[in-house]
Structure 1
């Protein structure tokens, strides 16, 4: 990952870098890797995330179809 520093404006470049890292999920991954996660906990977390995504997708579909 790279950020271009223009006109010696390091503050602006640092903000851009932090935003890129945030978008890529680096901070979330660092937080996750701070402590060991048991495989069963990881599986439960990933399953719960999949359920949340599916429910969100269903809500969006219902809103779209209900508006017709």
Structure 2
């Protein structure tokens, strides 16, 4: 993993590194490896994660098909539409 430091701004580089690590799931894995996890607990956790992924995929598919509304668009501070072409219907 590579993060460049520009203009000696270490704080900004550290923030970018933390964001990359968070996205990769390194912090979550470190927390899980901190203590021993029994095989039964691991199975239950993995089963729960699979259920969450399946629900998320079903929700996304339903949104694409128009069965449920998608997430609300956040208004931009300058008052323009949230996405390009959003004002056209």
For normalisation by structure 1, the TM-score amounts to 0.83
Matched with 2:67 is 66
Structure 1 segments unaligned to the other structure (5+ residues): none
Map residues 1-68 of structure 1 onto 2, 5 A cutoff. 1-63=1-63, 64=65, 66=67
**1:17 & 1:58 partners in 2: Cα distance?**
32
Deviation at 1:40, TM superposition (A): 1.2
- How many equivalent residue pairs? 67
| Cα RMSD for the two superposed structures | 1.6
Looking at structure 2, the residues matched to 56 and 14 of structure 1 have their Cα atoms a distance apart, in angstroms, of 31
Runs of 4+ in structure 1 over 6 Å off: none
Instruction: Flag the structure with larger Rg.
Output: 2
Q: Looking at both structures, which has the greater relative contact order when contacts are Cα pairs under 8 Å and sequence separation is at least 6? A: 1
Higher helix residue share: 1
Deviation at 1:51, TM superposition (A): 1.2
Tell me, which stretches of 5 or more residues in structure 2 are unaligned? 69-89
